[in-house]
């Protein structure tokens, strides 16, 4: 289970703390693709004995990001005066600007909140709806973009319609048709998930957004499984709002997330919380989507480190990063299928992303999950089956170990 001594030594040398500038130089000088990704692996502190493969839930941060959080937290602890902390306002805006640029939108359309759940609930609670209005949700949404709508419906007498998609879809047209047939003249909002965390299915969100907007329907997209995994252009996607967490595929600091709201939609959405920094009356003094991050005292070091995470992603490049995620996921799915396992996730990259789910009877999922970690050092999840989500810090050796582990435990698949 542990890495050979030579590999451990090699990774330790690559993993020495370096600046992002030095890391960029190392990546530029990488003699081949394998060395490039091994260099990336070296920037994550986890030991080879316990390999994370659950990016859909929580990712480790690269050393530069973790050290940025630690260093700035220490800075605050050494001097928590207003005078010293004043510099964090600029750092927050720098983080916002970098995230916005990577997503193809303006900084005024981005709120840096705490996680996807908070962002989802801001839209859920803040969208102006009245009794009898209809909201369509995907049945594979996360509870904060699904059950949360039921809770609001119970208070305000909304109509919630759940849409189920085929387990094995024939393609984008079939998926679009399922939602289109659910629309009625009473439909006011469509709340969907870009990539399901329980099946790995990727919805054709751009086409669904276009379809909904022609009908005047507000579209909210939960992007928890795509920010940091896929190359994104929210303007081209056409959604009215989009949510995500930095601690998942973005590999950022914990308890940071984003809420994008299209500029012309910002005024109509009410915030969940009004705290110091909002202003002195019903109209916020803050500009644009910043009104959604009026939350009181925040972790300034965390928010500043979102910018360092953006820099880390920019070193790799969104297109190259997406290609790596899809390469690892495709390789893993093919290997699991060769064992005779039944994949829940689509094998086609166009209908999936990095979330890989293998069918396992519910009664056996916990045992398979526990033994894969305990006996083979692979940390997955039980969402929808056995969920394994490889990311840029994973290597082909990690994937091979996961497959070997499943092979030894495949009696639990039936």
Q: Is 175 exposed, middle or buried (0-12, 13-18, 19+ CB in 10 A)?
A: buried
Confirm whether 65 is domain-assigned: no
Is 21 in the same domain as 149? no
DSSP string across 83-120 = HHHTHHHHHHHHHHHHHHHHHTS-GGGEEEES-HHHHH
Contacts 24+ apart (CB under 8 A), 381-386: 381/54, 381/56, 381/57, 383/56, 383/197, 383/198, 383/357, 384/196, 384/197, 384/198, 384/199, 384/200, 384/344, 384/357, 385/344, 385/357, 385/358, 385/359, 385/360, 386/357, 386/358, 386/360
Give Cα separations from 76 to 62, 85, 153 (angstroms): 22, 7, 43
Of 172, 227, 163, whose CA–CA distance to 191 is shortest? 163
Q: Is the same domain home to 303 and 217? A: yes
Domain boundary among 260, 295, 313: 313
DSSP for 230-263 reads B---HHHHT-SEEEEETTTTT---SS-EEEEE-G
**CA distance linking residue 128 with residue 58, whole number of Å:** 33
> Which pLDDT does position 306 carry in this prediction?
98
Question: Quick check: helix, strand or coil at residue 129?
Answer: coil
Tracing tokens 């940025």 back to the chain, one arrives at 68
Question: Of 262, 278, 313, at which residue does a domain stop?
Answer: 313
- CA 399, chain centre distance (Å): 21
392 and 352 within one domain? yes
In the prediction, which pLDDT does 13 show? 57
Residues 283 and 142 in one domain: yes
Torsions phi, psi of 33, nearest 5? Answer: -65, -40
- Backbone phi, then psi, for 257, in 5-degree steps? -155, 180
Do the domain assignments include residue 323?
A: yes
Q: Answer yes or no: do 35 and 183 share one domain.
A: no
Beta carbons of 237 and 109 less than 8 angstroms apart: no
In a domain, 126, yes or no: yes
Examine the domain organization and report whether 17 and 84 are in the same domain: no
Q: How high is the pLDDT of residue 285? A: 87
pLDDT of residue 189: 98
What is residue 140's DSSP assignment? T
In a domain, 382, yes or no: yes
Whether residues 403 and 360 fall in one domain: yes
The low-confidence residues of the chain, meaning pLDDT below 70, are 1-17
CA atoms within 13 A on the CB side of 43: 29
Nearest Cα to 405, choosing from 392, 389, 388? 388
Residues 229, 123: one domain?
Answer: yes
pLDDT in tens, 224-233: 999 999 999 9
Do residues 143 and 191 lie in contact, with contact meaning Cβ atoms separated by under 8 Å? no
Residue 333 has which token pair? 């799915």
Q: Is 35 within the bounds of a domain?
A: yes
Beta bridge partners of 135: 160, 189
Residue holding tokens 């939602």? Answer: 179
Burial of 331 (C-beta count, 10 Å sphere; 0-12/13-18/19+): middle
Report the CATH number that the domain containing residue 14 is assigned in CATH. 3.90.1150.10
pLDDT at 16: 65
Could you please report the per-residue DSSP string of 261-296?
E-GGGGGGPPPS---TTS-SSSS-SS-GGGGGG--S
Q: Range of 44's domain?
A: 5-60+317-413
Q: In this predicted structure, what is the pLDDT of residue 280?
A: 87
- Domain end (from 269, 290, 313): 313
Residue 132 tokens, joined: 């009898």
- Give the chain's domain count: 2
Residue 91 shares a structural domain with residue 144 = yes
- Quick one: 154 and 185 in the same domain? yes
119 and 199 co-located in one domain:
yes
Same domain? For 225 and 343 the reply is no
Is residue 346 in a domain? yes
What count of residues does the chain have? 414
At 8 the pLDDT is 55
Which pLDDT belongs to residue 349? 87
Instruction: Give, as one character, the DSSP assignment of residue 191.
Output: E
What's the token pair of residue 347? 């094998």
């Amino acid at each position: 289970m542990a890495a050979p001594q030579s590999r451990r030594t090699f990774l330790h040398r690559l993993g020495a703390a370096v600046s992002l500038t030095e890391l960029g130089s190392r990546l530029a000088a990488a003699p081949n693709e394998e060395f490039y990704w091994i260099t990336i692996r070296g920037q994550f502190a986890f030991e080879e004995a316990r390999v994370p493969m659950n990016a859909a839930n929580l990712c480790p941060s690269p050393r530069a990001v973790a050290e940025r959080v630690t260093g700035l937290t220490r800075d605050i602890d050494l001097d928590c005066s207003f005078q010293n902390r004043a510099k964090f306002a600029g750092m927050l805006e720098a983080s916002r600007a970098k995230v916005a640029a990577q997503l193809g939108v303006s900084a005024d359309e981005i709120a840096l909140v705490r996680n996807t759940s908070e962002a989802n609930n801001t839209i859920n609670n803040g969208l102006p709806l009245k009794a009898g209005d209809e909201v369509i949700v995907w049945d594979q949404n996360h509870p904060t973009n699904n059950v949360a709508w039921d809770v609001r419906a119970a208070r305000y007498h909304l109509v919630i319609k759940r849409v189920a998609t085929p387990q094995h879809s024939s393609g984008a047209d079939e998926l679009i048709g399922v939602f289109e047939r659910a629309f009625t003249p009473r439909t006011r909002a469509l709340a969907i998930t870009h990539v399901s965390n329980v099946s790995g299915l990727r919805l054709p969100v751009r086409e669904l957004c276009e379809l909904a907007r022609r009908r005047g329907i507000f579209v909210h997209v939960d992007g928890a499984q795509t920010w940091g995994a896929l190359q994104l252009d929210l303007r081209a996607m056409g959604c009215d709002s989009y949510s995500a967490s930095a601690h998942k595929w973005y590999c950022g600091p914990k308890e940071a997330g984003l809420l994008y709201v299209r500029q012309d939609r910002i005024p109509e959405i009410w915030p969940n919380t009004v705290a110091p920094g909002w202003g002195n009356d019903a109209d916020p003094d803050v500009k644009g989507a910043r009104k959604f991050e009026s939350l009181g005292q925040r972790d300034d070091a965390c928010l500043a480190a979102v910018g360092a995470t953006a820099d880390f992603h920019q070193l790799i490049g969104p297109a190259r990063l997406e290609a790596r995620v899809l390469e690892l996921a495709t390789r893993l799915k093919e290997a699991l299928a060769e064992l005779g396992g039944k994949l829940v996730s689509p094998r086609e990259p166009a209908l999936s992303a990095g979330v890989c789910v293998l069918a396992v009877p519910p009664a056996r999922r916990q045992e398979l999950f526990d033994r894969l970690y305990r006996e083979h050092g692979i940390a997955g999840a039980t969402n929808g089956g056995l969920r394994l989500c490889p990311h840029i810090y994973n290597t082909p050796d990690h994937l091979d170990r996961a497959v070997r582990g499943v092979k030894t435990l495949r009696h639990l698949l039936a």
